Structure 1
Amino acid sequence: MQTSAVYVITGGTRGIGAAVARRLAGVAGRGLVLGYRGNHERAAELVAELDSAAGPVRAVPCDVADQAQVSALFKAADELGPLAGLVNNAGVLEQQCAFTEITADRWSRVLAVNVIGLAMCCREAVTRMRGSDRPDRAIVNLSSKAAVLGAPGEYVDYAASKAAVDTLTRGLALEVAPYGIRVTSVRPGIIDTEIHATGGDPGRAARLGPAQPLGRAGTADEVAAAVAWLLSPDARFVTGTTLDVTGGR
C-alpha cells in the first residue's frame, strides 16, 4: 500500500518512541515504519493496535549500530511511499557508575547507537528528503537534559553522547536548510519510562520527580506531543534548535 507520507521512528515500539507512534498513527495517507531492536511480541502488539486502512504501520527489526539494518529500515519505508519525517528515538543507557568505571567497550557501545547510529539514520533520511519538494520534511532527534547536566556519578558517557546529538542537530539543520528540511531535537528531563530500569535505577522517576520545578516526572506522551509538534506544519519556521521538555529542570 503506497501512502503520501511516511514517518520512520527508531526505537519505535516502547517508551517515547511508541508514544510518538500513537500520536502520528491513524492519519489518512500517512504510513509509519517503526524500528525496534529485540522484542518481537511487543512490536507485533503495537502494529496490531495502530495499523489501519487510514495509514499502514510496519515494524522492522533494526539495531541502528548496524548500517545494513539501518539501510533495510529505510528500504522498508521506501516501499510505503515518500519519506516525510524521521524520529531518532533509539538509544542505549548503561548501568549507573562512576566515570572511572566506564570502559572503552562501553564508550563504544553507547556512541555506536546514540551518535553514529543516529547520524546514519539522518544520512538515509536526508538522502531521500533533499530531492523532494514536500513542504513538511523534518527530522527530530531525541536528546536528553543530561547533555547539559552531565550526569555525574551516573552515566557521563550517555550525557556526552546526547551533547553530541545536540551539536549534530544544529550543524545538520544549517546544512540542509536550503533544501527545506528541518532538523530539531527534543531534550527530555526526568520522564517515567523503563529506561531508568536499564540504568539500574527503576525507581528513579518516582524518586526524583517531586523535586522537579513542576513537582513530578514527565510522561512519554508529553515528550511525544513535543515531537509531533516539531514534525507538524505548525513548526514550519523552527529548525536548528533543541526543545527542553523537562518540567523546568
Structure 2
Amino acid sequence: MTDVPTRPVTIITGASRGIGAAIAERLAADGHDLVLTYRDRADDADSVARRCASSGARVLVLKVDLADLEATATVVPAAIAKFGRVTGLVNNAGITGKIGGFLDASLDESEELFRVNVLAPIVLTRAAIAHMATDRGGAGGSIVNISSGAARSGAPNTYIPYAMSKAALNALTTGASKEFGPVGVRVNTVSPGTTRTEIHAAAGRPDAPDERAPGIPMRRPGEPHEIAGAVAYLFSADASYTSGADIRVAGGN
C-alpha cells in the first residue's frame, strides 16, 4: 500500500464485469485508487467497487454510456475533481456487434460500435494525456488499450467491423506512444484472444469460447484474471521502459 497523496489513480472503462472487473480488482490489490465506469449494470459495478475497496482502494463509480461522447468527456474531469489527479487509463469498454457475415452487419450497429470502441477512447485518451503530459504541468502516466486478436485476423464471418475498431485502437497506441513518449506518457496495448466473458452472449453466441477452444494452441479460452495480469505489468515499475507494445494474451494464437 502507498500513501494516499502518491497512490496511482487509474480510470477503467467498462469495469462492471468480465475483463474490466478483473483489471479493477487486480489494480486495487496493487495499490491503485480507481474510477470505474459502467453503462447499465449498477449492481455489478457496485459489487466490483466493494471488492476493490476491501483491498484498500478509494473508488469512484460513474454511470456513463460511452456512445454519448459528451458524457464520455466528463469522465477525466470527474476523476480529477475526486482524487486531484489521474495517472492511468484503461480503455477497456467495448462492444462487438452481432456475430455474423460482413454483408449482414447493421450499419447503425457498426456506427454505435465505432463510437464506443474508437471515438470514446480518443476522447478519454486526449483528456488523460492533456492532464498527464509533463509539458503541460503533469507528472506523466500510463495508458493501456484493450484490443483483440481480431484486429489482426480480421474476424471473417464473425464480426469484421469489431475487428476494424480494434485495429484502430492499435493505431492509437502506436501513434500516441510515439507522440507523447517524450512528455512522460506511456501507451500500450493488451490483445486478448478468446476469453470467457459475457461479451460472447451479447454477440449471440454464448458458447463461443468453448467452441473455439480446439483451434487455440493451449486448447482453452482465457480467463479475465489472465488478461488483468498483463495490464498490471504495464502499470508496474517493471514496465517503465515499455511503450508502444502489444502484449498478446491469446493462448498461443
Which category describes the TM-score, using the shorter chain as reference length? over 0.9
1:205 aligns to what SS in structure 2? helix
What is the CA-CA distance between 1:3 and the residue it aligns to? 4.3
Residue 112 of structure 1: aligned partner: 115
1:24: which partner in 2?
A: 27
Give 3-state SS (helix, strand or coil) of 2:242's partner: coil
- CA distance in 2 between counterparts of 1:162 and 1:132 reads 31
1:52 Cα offset (Å): 4.6
Please say if 1:95 is aligned against 2:72. Answer: no
SS at match of 1:83: coil
**2:217 maps to which residue?**
213
**Cα distance between partner residues in 2 of 1:75 and 1:120:** 12
Q: How many Å apart are 1:113 and its aligned residue?
A: 0.7
CA distance in 2: counterparts of 1:19 and 1:142, whole angstroms: 13
Q: CA deviation at 1:77?
A: 1.1
Which amino acid in 2 is paired with 1:46?
Answer: V
- Where in structure 2 are the equivalents of 1:57-136 lying within 5 Å? 57-78=59-80, 79-130=82-133, 131-132=136-137, 134=139
Partner of 2:148: 144
RMSD: 1.7
Change (3 A) 1:53 1:170: closer
Assess if the C-alpha contact under 8 Å between 2:102 and 2:159 holds in 1.
yes
Specify the alignment match of 1:6 in structure 2: 9
Q: Following the alignment from structure 1 to structure 2, what is the Cα–Cα distance between the partners of residues 240 and 206?
A: 32
Residue equivalent to 1:38: 40
- 1:204-226 Cα distance to aligned partner (Å, 9 max, x none): 11121233111211110000100
Count of residues in correspondence between the two structures:
247
CA distance in 1, matches of 2:63, 2:243: 30
Percent pairwise identity: 39
The Cα shift of 1:154 comes to 1.0
**What is the rounded CA distance, in whole Å, between the counterparts of 1:159 and 1:27 in structure 2?**
31
- 1:3–1:31 CA contact under 8 A, matched in 2: no
> Does structure 2 retain, via aligned residues, the 8 Å contact 1:25–1:55?
yes
* Partner SS for 2:74: helix
Contact 2:69–2:119 (CA under 8 A) maintained in structure 1: no
**Letter of the structure 1 residue corresponding to residue 204 of structure 2:** G
TM-score normalised by length of structure 2: 0.92
Q: Check the 8 A contact 1:3/1:82 in 2, yes or no.
A: no
Structure 1: which 5+ runs fail to align?
Answer: none
Q: Which residue is equivalent to 1:225?
A: 229
Match of 2:163 in 1: 159
TM-score, normalised to structure 1, is: 0.94
The alpha carbon displacement at 1:88 in A equals: 0.4
Unaligned runs of 5+ in 2: none
> Cα deviations across residues 59-100 of structure 1 (Å, max 9, x unaligned)?
101122222322322222111132111000010111112111
Tell whether the 8 Å contact from 1:8 to 1:32 is kept in structure 2 after alignment.
Answer: yes
